[in-house]
Structure formats: C-alpha cells, structure tokens
Chain A
Amino acid sequence: MTPRRVAVTGMGVFSACGRNAREFWEAMKAGRSGIGPLEGFAGFRITTGAQISGYDAAAHLDPKDADLIDRFAQYGLIAAREAVAAAGIEFTPESRLSTGVITGSCLGGKVAEDEAFRQLYADGNPRVHPMTIPRIMANAAASRIGLEWGLTGASFTLATACSSANHALAHAFWMVRQGSLEMAIAGGSEAPFSVAHLRAWEAIRVVSPDTCRPFSLGRRGLSLGEGAAMLILEPLDRARARGAEVLGEIVGAGMSADAHHITQPSAEGAARAMRLALEDAGLAPAQIGYINAHGTGTQANDATEARAIHAVFGGHASRLVVSSTKSMHGHALGAAGALEAAATVMALRSGILPPTANFVEADPACDLDVAPNQARHTGTGYALSNSFAFGGLNAVLAFARA
C-alpha cells in the first residue's frame, strides 16, 4: 500500500514578528526582525529578545479561562484557533475521535512557575495559587487546544528543548501518514520570558547582547523569542475531497541523537537527522533547494550546522539557500520548529526564500548562501527545516510545495 501523503491545510502563528500567519510571513519576506529591547526585565544582562509586546490575555481569552493556563498555553491556543479557522474545519462527532493535538514545549508554564516560586521563596508565603499545577504542566497547550473543539484522538506533548516542535510535527506527520490520526493540530508554543529562566540563560552565556546574526562574522549568540505556531495536517486526498486549500506537504522526517555532549552540537548527529529525513521522504539531496536552518547565531551551532550541511549535500551545498529565520522571530525554543515550519511552507508556496536578517559579513566557517538580509526570489520544490537541541536531540522535517 502506498503511504498516505500528508497535507498542510491551515496555519496559525502568534509571534513577535506578527500576530497571525499573514503578518508573520510579511515580516519574514521583508527580513524584518522582531528582536528588540526587552520590556519588564530592567537590570538584566540580557537586554534584547523577540518579545510579544503589549500582550493582553483578555483580548484573546475569557478572563476566567486565562486564569487556568500559563501564557505559553494561551499562545498555543491562539495559534490553533487561527489554524483551524484558516483550514475551514468543521468538526463532527466522528472527526473529533480521530483528530489529535501534538505540541512541543521546552519549558512548560515558566511564567506561572516563576510567580509561584517568587511568592514562596521571596515573600515567604507558603501558599501558591491553586491552579499552579495545571498552569505549569507542559501539556497544557495540547490539552487546552483539545478542549476547545472536543478532540479526542491521540494527543501529547514532546519536550526536546529546541527541537520540541520539530519532534511534535514529525510525530504528527507520521501518525497521519500511517493512519493513526485523520487530522492533527501540531506545532509548538513557548513563553520563556520569566525572571528565573532569563537569569539561567544569562548564566550559560550564549545569548547575544545585541541581536541574533546567524552565520555572520561578529555573531554573538542567540536571541530568545516567544510565541506559537500550529499547523493542520491531514491526508492529502481527504483534504482535496473536502475542498481544502493545500498550502504544502510534509513529506519526511528524520531524527537522531548526538550522545556527544550536553550542550555542544555534533555535525555527525545533525547530518544523520538530515539524511534520515531525505530518506524518509524518498528525496535525493540534489532535489532540495532551501534549508530553514537551526541557525541559532551561536559560534558553535552555525559552524557545526554548516559542516553538517556540506557533509550531507556535498557539491550541491553551494547551490542551496540556507537561511535562519531565528534572526527575526528569535529562538522560541519549543516553538522554534513550528515557526520555522510555517515560514518554510510559505517559502515553498510563494517562491520567496526568507533571508537571514542582521547579517554583517560572511564567515568562512559558515560557507553557505544564507540569503543575507534580502529574501531570495527563487522557486524550489523541496525544503528541509532543521532543529538541533541542547542535549543533542535532532529532528529534521522535509517539506514539498503543494
């Protein structure tokens, strides 16, 4: 039996670069970075990030509902609502049974956790809010999204640091392809701007003091970002049968673990995940025209990722466009792969490859065409999107133009 093809029929995005998928893509095409001065963290060494400024939960959720879930789950729900509406889905009792929600989250409800622990340790108040547990749990976004439409298919949350959303999308893709789900709402969401968590990033010294300049000389680290992106995945034939607009396809996924170092990346592990994604998709390296890179903007990641791409693609590496949209939406950790999936689907669909923003000068250690600062108007049929996590857990997705 031929495996089912898996279509992307809806997307929702909530990020510093745009509060919906259309605004987000406009920013990506224009190379407009959402990284700017952080609000609410005076006296921190980290002064910039891709923050959703002026976020007001009451504008999106009933106030009582907003009390029950942390900001990261709220972002996930907002993105899921947009994706479901965009896909034109009207759930039925039958379709609810076979629709699952598969999300990535690196951190869970850090904002809520921080507030609870501040009361506990700083105020000496032994009593924390009764909803602290449901607010903190990493699966809160998946659960809350499922509740929105009464979805009772297989649903879960994966936490693999910066690869969380790619692992989630990969599993959702495989489950739809093999028939375990007829539809999935999949992606990731993250709200990493909390006092204690930001201090932890300061301590590990990988965050840039100004902005994120992936693959560029003078790059000084990553910039944290927040937000969510959710994709609707369903079998291509079913999508066509119901008259849905097919935005693109996920055609393969590959995963690997470095087992090399708790923070240092490994070119070998990254290369293996890319090769496995190509193999799963039945694609030859030369068919790929674009890679949405992990591209964090750290010294170690970008040079290692460049080596991995050269190892996989050989001579074709110089004909690829490899850009890092983290230069715009920041590193949204457990949401990163989902934001990048949205950008990659739109890139294939529009024939416009988003640039690497904030680029200053080519680094010989990253000898790739990274579309510096300007989008590339080059149509291509197939793309990869890379995620390589702290802890060495890698997940790569392969996409096709619809």
Chain B
Amino acid sequence: MQPDIVTRVIGVIAKTQHIPVEAIKPESLFQELNIDSMDGINIVFALENEFGVQISDEDAKSIRGVPDVVEGIEKLLRQKAE
C-alpha cells in the first residue's frame, strides 16, 4: 500500500464522516468506524473527487474498509496511468 494514498484515503473518510483522522487506521474496517452503506456512498463520491477516478457501482458496493479502498484506488490509478 502506498503511504500517501493511505493518508489521502483516511483524510477523505475523516472529512466525510466528521471523525478525527487519528481514529482511522490503515487496517480499519467501516463496521468498526460505524460507517454504514449510505455513508459508504458518500465516501465513494468524495474519493472520486479526490483521486479523479470513476468507481463502478459494483466496486462501490464491495468496499468494507480502508484496505479495500486503498487497493481499489491503487488499481484505478494504475489503469488511468496506462
């Protein structure tokens, strides 16, 4: 996992959910952070803005925590660069 992407993802989650950055760890799962499926949709929207990518409905539904998000964003950024 690229550290700067992890930091940016955590920043996006913290901002959209109004929780402190320190409360989110690189391994945090949404369930632990009390983030429900509707919150997840808000996070996906903010991630698309942050990284300039498009996240499919399928991918949006499958994210469960910070590791999934970082992995997905890295994949999308790689695809974008190619």
Contacts and interface: CB of A to CB of B under 8 A. Distances in A.
Interface of A: 62-64, 67, 127, 129-131
B18 A130 contact: no
Given A67-B42, A131-B38, A131-B42, 16 more contacts: A62-B18, A63-B18, A64-B17, A64-B18, A64-B39, A67-B16, A67-B18, A127-B45, A127-B48, A127-B49, A129-B42, A129-B45, A130-B41, A130-B42, A130-B44, A130-B45
A400 B44 CA distance: 53
Contacts of A64: 17-18, 39
A67 B17 CA distance: 9
Contacts of B39: 64
A113 B4 CA distance: 35
Interface string B57-79: 00000000000000000000000
Nearest to A65: B18
19 contacts: A62-B18, A63-B18, A64-B17, A64-B18, A64-B39, A67-B16, A67-B18, A67-B42, A127-B45, A127-B48, A127-B49, A129-B42, A129-B45, A130-B41, A130-B42, A130-B44, A130-B45, A131-B38, A131-B42
A63 B14 CA distance: 12
Contacts of B17: 64
* B interface SS class: helix
Interface of B: 16-18, 38-39, 41-42, 44-45, 48-49
Smallest CB-CB A-B distances: 5 pairs: A63-B18, A130-B41, A130-B45, A64-B18, A130-B42
Contacts, number: 19
A60 to B, nearest CB: 15
Nearest to B41: A130
A274 B49 CA distance: 55
Contacts of B49: 127
Contacts of A63: 18
Contacts of B42: 67, 129-131
Contacts of B41: 130
Scoring B18, B44, B49 by chain A CB atoms within 10 A of each residue's CB, the highest score goes to B18
Nearest to A66: B18
Nearest to B42: A130
Nearest to B40: A130
Scoring A62, A64, A129 by chain B CB atoms within 10 A of each residue's CB, the highest score goes to A64
Scoring A62, A63, A130 by chain B CB atoms within 10 A of each residue's CB, the highest score goes to A130
A186 to B, nearest CB: 28
Nearest to A58: B18
Contacts of A127: 45, 48-49
A131 B46 CA distance: 12
B44 to A, nearest CB: 8
A140 to B, nearest CB: 14
Contacts of B44: 130
A63 B16 CA distance: 10
A2 to B, nearest CB: 47
A63 B48 CA distance: 22
Nearest to B43: A130
Nearest to B44: A130
Nearest to A131: B42
Contacts of A129: 42, 45
A62 B45 CA distance: 21
Nearest to A67: B42
A130 to B, nearest CB: 5
B22 to A, nearest CB: 17
A131 B48 CA distance: 15
B60 to A, nearest CB: 10
A131 B37 CA distance: 12
Contacts of A131: 38, 42
